[in-house]
Amino acid sequence: MRVADFAVAATPESIVTIGLGSCVAITLHDAVAGIGGLAHVLLPSEAMSRERENRAKFAGTAVPLLIEQMQARGARLPRMQAKLAGGASMFASLIATQGLQMGERNVMAARAALQVAGIPLVGQDVGGDFGRSVYFTIADGLMRVRSVRRGEIIV
């Protein structure tokens, strides 16, 4: 999957996105229905882009998009749980220390969107100054996060 993209799948499939820097991967999972979704979010808000048609691009619109697409396949909102990965400050040393880095803003926006939707955040691997790739297995809801810096961790 690419930046500003999303996918919804059912067991036994997996969804993969690579190259998360300041971007955030948001995964939603309904274990009972065996359905999951992943969005590779680029920006925290629509106000930061001229092109606003792509709902997967922004945290606040990606979460409702995933919910809609998962519900269309039989998932139920009360059973959904979320995990996050990414939101790194890739070039922190090159940017003034005032204000939040883009990665931090993406993480905050993703958490806020999940809160508005009433979906509990049950795991995360966010922040730092290194990139990640996410391998989300629908059957068990595990999010494997790989990076050169730390290898693989399971969230």
**Which residues are catalytic, by number?**
23
Beta pairing class for 121-126 and 132-137: unpaired
Q: Which tokens go with 26?
A: 């948001």
Q: Contact, 114 vs 63, CB < 8 A?
A: yes
Q: How many residues does this entry show for the chain?
A: 155
Please, where are the H alpha helices in 14-125?
59-72, 102-117
Give all strands of the β-sheet with 14-20 in edge-to-edge order. Answer: 14-20, 132-137, 143-147, 151-154
